[in-house]
Amino acid sequence: MIKIRLRRVGAKKQPHYRVVVADARSPRDGRFIENIGHYHPREDPPAFTIREDRAIYWLQQGAQPTEAVVRMFDKLGTYKKLERVRAGESLDDILAEVVEAPVVIEEPVEPSAPEEVEEVPATEEIAEPITETSIEELGLSTRVLNSLTGAGIDTVQDMLNKLAEGTEEILSIPGLGQKSLDEIQEALRAQGFLE
């Protein structure tokens, strides 16, 4: 039987979970078929993200979600979308509705005097803020990820700040050595955070 369940990846007393599709016989943190989301219970309020297209695919294949995942699906309305897919609607159309939902402004905005706006040249790209990018998204090995989160490094910005202090600071973290440092730097370069 295939299950959709949570897989713990956080450090001691700092739980973070991945929403994975796995064989029911494999252990909680063992092998899995596909990672379809993340759950961060320590945030206020707890945050989660799920790739609904993959969740609906696995539900159609007969995967059984655990109680925690069912609650997430209920909040997202995944079961309603699944019923619409089963009724014959296109999954792409259903998921596009969420993206194209209009933004509702509750208070009318009064027009103000036009202000001078500094134009940005079209060739420059505006980088997305890296302060909130989780280090889990770098694709680091579990050992390195656990060592970093155990040292309080949860975001890419935290990692870059630590690197700015010097490589000795990274190497002083228990469980990390030169190979781990090389892996971290390579992952940061691959994502465009380092040159």
**Rounded CA separation 104/102 (Å):** 6
User: Where are the alpha helices (H) located in the chain, listed in sequence order?
Assistant: 52-60, 67-76, 78-86, 91-99, 142-150, 156-165, 167-171, 178-190
Q: Which residue has the higher pLDDT, 165 or 195?
A: 165
Q: Is residue 27 part of a domain?
A: yes
The predicted model scores a pTM of 0.49
Could you read off the pLDDT of 33-78 as tens digits, one per residue?
999 999 988 888 888 889 988 999 999 899 999 999 999 999 888 8
pLDDT above 60 (res 101): no
Place of tokens 């975001």: 155
Residue 179 belongs to domain with CATH number:
1.10.150
At 156 the pLDDT is 77
Q: Which residue has the higher pLDDT, 146 or 68?
A: 68
Q: What is the mean pLDDT of residues 160-181?
A: 80
Identify the domain boundary among 52, 76, 99: 99
Residue 59 belongs to domain with CATH number:
3.30.1320.10
Q: Which residue range forms the structural domain that includes residue 166?
A: 135-190
pLDDT grade for 145, boundaries at 50, 70 and 90: confident
Q: Is residue 109 part of a domain?
A: no
Min mean pLDDT across 62-71, 84-93, 167-176 is at 167-176
Min mean pLDDT across 96-105, 165-174, 180-189 is at 96-105
